[in-house]
Structure 1
């Protein structure tokens, strides 16, 4: 099979206080949706394994790992204003990181082409030395470091969570072997991700940030991929692509103000699947990050599954299937003004409405910052 995946009951055992948006029901919604879409028939399930201290220590400082080991296992508490832990959190955290490592290894070893880590807690806000934004260990960063240790010369990370992946950026911003690219709502939490943040030192040109205004939808995200991300990947030529896949850009997500639908997620995932086929023999691993509307989580996870491992005989969703994302099947009127068909693929120009114009301006700022640095790093 071309797909391996990790799902496990352990990821529901991380239990923040009642009312916290990063709740166990998130992973239940994802599992139910991909099960109904036939996940078991489309890929092979890998067992869960806890990441070791040495594997986590490639990206997190020893004092921070020691603090987590002292505070978290078997206890309940709080690491910052947003990040809580419960008696089952440490096991879930280690196994979330271990899942990304093991899927990365399976892809690099050629056992499969794609990997799908349906895990929690999320990771991309976790800094080298502290928890942040619901995240304790930076799962994708741990996976990227594992890939380098396993022999990958260059690793690319694409983060489409609505919140900027500050932790991942800071861990790798001086590392020319890891390309980090984020498209996110900006300005917004956590306050980082300006277009001028392009890496430091030897890593200058290996960080790419596109901060989009609130209200952007499928067309605007497709433009980011077409104009910025896909050209950058072709220039960098990674041996592996990792996705920090937050579904909180979904049109109904309660923690943000973007308007992406399932078709948008599917288009982004397909674009990365195709470019991975072109550049790195299809090596592509996706890890769940945010997403707080349960319907949106299910739609997004199935969209990625469809892109990674299309079901035999299933009609192309873009042509034949309604997504059910919005009652009328269209994006709302108002500032988000566009053509009747918002889902015409990666080559739809962004020409409509004030939000679209602001999105294009954001893309242009990113391109200008990269041009001033000499462009995205090349091998």
Structure 2
């Protein structure tokens, strides 16, 4: 088997204002870093509305659709904007995550990386925020549970910011475990350890600013990996944000590129042990272009190595 790369040119058409950190160049650099790698290249489809409605109410989906401008820019909150190409890009992001689930569960790919934008892990049920419009990974988790019939799905989010949207979308779902490691305190201000959800299926692992590699790895070894093993998921989804890198301008967690290699390898170990290697990773943050490209390449290199094993 192999590793699937799922993307679409529409995701380059989401154009926030000049100087915005979630810029088109992010995806351009990511795709350039992956261009010569041995990957099964797959087009991200537009998400089916029924799949969005598993995590967002119809009124919210219609509000986002109505907000999409024919020209110019629309500001949804302090950080989140829509341009004429944003709606299609957001639909490709959610559709790509779901396509990744299909590929991995069917055995067409051993694992998958979804390289789309805008990101998704801050979008709450009825609130776009933090550059995000739809909850891509949450939609994929619910699709795997409700459409594909899996018993349990785990989501691991190592973006430097708390995945408040994914938590909001999945906390009422007892079949989904959501794990987020993140710098704390930091925007959006959520993600305290006592946020465990009504079914005790939320695990937040806050890390102090500048705590670096040792604290990050210890937190996963001591807290995250045992919880994943106890949950025994049938599929692991990853919110792969690379803004915990020491060179990222929006945070101060000071990880190295090698840490992303390490966490990817260890998550693949768990996927191999627990769910036949089935893992789908979706791009989230990362705002230093060099660090983003290097870290993404390191992440995907591990997926390729494990997919070909």
- How would you bin the TM-score normalised by the shorter chain? over 0.9
State the shift of 1:303 in Å: 1.3
SS at match of 1:49: coil
What corresponds to 1:29 in structure 2?
29
Return the TM-score normalized by structure 1.
0.79
State whether residues 74 and 90 of structure 1, in contact with CA within 8 Å, keep that contact through their aligned partners in structure 2: no
Shift of residue 48, structure 1, vs aligned partner = 2.1
- 2:281 matches 1:286: yes
Kindly tell me: are residues 111 and 22 of structure 1, through their superposed partners in 2, closer, same or farther at Cα, counting changes over 3 Å?
same
SS at structure 2 position matched to 1:286:
strand
Distance 1:111 1:304 in 2: 20
Counterpart selection for 1:221 from 216, 221, 243: 216
Q: What is the aligned residue count?
A: 305
Residue in structure 1 matching 2:61, options 65, 69, 76: 65
Verify the 8 A CA contact 1:126 1:167 in the aligned structure 2.
yes
- Give runs of aligned pairs for residues 258-337 of structure 1, distance below 5 A: 258-310=253-305
How far residue 174 of structure 1 moved from its aligned partner, in angstroms, is 2.0
Q: 1:226 to 1:86 in 2, by over 3 A?
A: same
User: In the superposition, relative to structure 1, how do residues 171 and 128 fare at CA in structure 2: closer, same or farther (>3 Å)?
Assistant: same
SS at match of 2:305: coil
For residues 31-87 of structure 1, the C-alpha deviation after alignment (integer angstroms, 9 at most, x for no partner) is 11122xx32x2x211122100111111100111101111111634301111100101
**DSSP-derived class of the 1:124 partner:** coil
Whether the 8 Å contact between 2:8 and 2:92 is mirrored in structure 1 is: no
Cα separation, 2, equivalents of 1:279 and 1:228:
17
Gaps spanning 5+ residues in structure 1: where?
Answer: 313-379
The correspondence of residues 42-61 of structure 1 with structure 2, limited to 5 A, is: 43-61=39-57
Is 1:233 paired with 2:231?
no
Match of 1:168 in 2: 166
Match of 1:137 among 134, 138, 152: 134
Partner of 2:143: 146
Q: Does structure 2 conserve the Cα–Cα contact (< 8 Å) formed by 1:218 and 1:263?
A: no
State the match for 2:237 in structure 1: 242
Structure 2 counterpart of 1:82, from 43, 58, 79:
79
Q: Displaced runs of 4+ in structure 1, greater than 3 A?
A: none
> Rg bigger for which structure?
1
CA contact (8 A) 1:155 1:178 kept: yes
Distance 2:306 2:138 in 1: 30
Could you tell me which residue of structure 2 aligns to residue 155 of structure 1? Answer: 153
Contiguous gaps of at least 5 residues in structure 2: none
Of the two structures, which has the highest relative contact order with CA contacts closer than 8 Å and spacing of 6 or more? 2
- Aligned CA RMSD, in angstroms, stands at 1.3
Measured in 2, the distance between the counterparts of 1:52 and 1:7 equals 16
Report the alpha carbon displacement of residue 142 of structure 1 after superposing the two structures with TM: 0.9
Q: Verify: 1:101 aligned to 2:98, yes or no.
A: yes
